[in-house]
Amino acid sequence: ALLYGGKLVGVPYGVSRSPWDFHRLLQTEGVTVLNQTPSAFRQLVALEETLGTGLEEELALRLVIFGGEALDPVSLKPWFERHGDEVPALVNMYGITETTVHVTKRRMRGPDAESASSVIGEAIGDLRLYVLDGRMEPVPRGVA
């Protein structure tokens, strides 16, 4: 993205600890792609609830990527109620350190916020996923 005119915005430590200052940074810098842990994103959602509506018009976000911890889909319900589920796109990504970060993705939609289950989605690109039992044998579909 940087080779095509994108810009990387560094977040100062103090700003990262203040939802209000972080929101202002997103607005001022015109951030369009945000990669956050779900717990950090919940702070932005809580800020909106505190301040009321209208924040969605101030942000240029078109994509929010979640990673680093399990996503509780129910926590997205207030966001979807205010913004819908089209723009920005909310994407849950899953991966473990041994795989060098992300291996799956799932676009989150409004109905997903009705379930407490965190669905990790489908494999990214040319990756394949296997669910194995204790003997390292494939588990039949629908069993795990």
The CATH number of residue 63's host domain is 3.40.50.980
Domain-located, residue 130: no
Dihedral pair phi/psi, residue 101, rounded to 5°: 85, -110
70-111 per-position pLDDT tens digit: 999 999 999 999 889 999 999 999 887 777 788 899 999 999
Q: Which domain holds residue 118?
A: 2-123
Q: In what order do the strands lie in the sheet with 33-36?
A: 33-36, 63-66, 89-94, 104-108, 122-123
In a domain, 132, yes or no: no
pLDDT tens digits along 25-70: 999 999 999 999 999 999 999 998 887 755 555 789 999 999 999 9
Number of separate domains in the chain: 1
Q: How far apart are CA 140 and CA 137, in angstroms?
A: 9
Cα–Cα distance measured from residue 90 to residue 74, given in angstroms and rounded to the nearest whole number? 13
